[in-house]
Amino acid sequence: MTEMRDMRISNLPMRAIPRRDARECIPFANAIRLQESFTARAERRALAWLAARLPSWMNSDHLTLIGFAAMIFAGASYALARTNRVGLILATIFLALNWFGDSLDGTLARLRNRQRPRYGFYVDHMIDTLGGFFLMGGLAISGIVDWRIVLGMFLAFLMLSVEVYLAAYTLGTFRLSFAKFGPTEIRILLALGNAALWFHPGARVFGSSYRVFDVGGIVAISGMSLMLIVSTILNTVKLYRAESLDSSPMFCNRSAEGLK
Identify whether the C-beta of residue 228 lies closer than 8 Å to the C-beta of residue 159: yes
Residue 6 lies in a domain: no
State the pLDDT at residue 103: 87
Residue 39 lies in a domain: yes
Residue 113 lies in a domain: yes
Which of 224, 226, 194, 225 is CA-nearest to residue 212?
Answer: 194
DSSP string, 128-195: HHHHHHHHHHHHHHHSSS-HHHHHHHHHHHHHHHHHHHHHHHHHSEEE--BTTB-HHHHHHHHHHHHH
pLDDT tens-digit series, residues 140-183: 999 889 999 999 999 999 999 999 889 888 888 877 767 777 88
The number of folded domains in the chain is 1
Residue 76 lies in a domain: yes
Over residues 47-65, the mean pLDDT reads 91
For residue 24, give the amino acid letter. E
Give the containing element (helix H, strand E) for 63.
helix 60-80
Round to whole Å and give the CA distance between 260 and 256.
7
Residue 9 lies in a domain: no
Identify whether the C-beta of residue 214 lies closer than 8 Å to the C-beta of residue 146: yes
Identify the band that residue 252 occupies on the pLDDT scale cut at 50, 70 and 90. Answer: low
Answer whether residue 93 shows pLDDT above 90.
yes
Round to whole Å and give the CA distance between 51 and 53.
5
Residue 254 lies in a domain: yes
Q: What is the CATH number of the domain that holds 166?
A: 1.20.120.1760
Range of the domain at 191: 29-259
Identify the band that residue 130 occupies on the pLDDT scale cut at 50, 70 and 90. Answer: very high
Round to whole Å and give the CA distance between 214 and 212.
5
Answer whether residue 21 shows pLDDT above 60.
no
State the pLDDT at residue 18: 46
Beta bridge partners of 34: 175
Q: Identify which has the larger pLDDT, 259 or 80.
A: 80
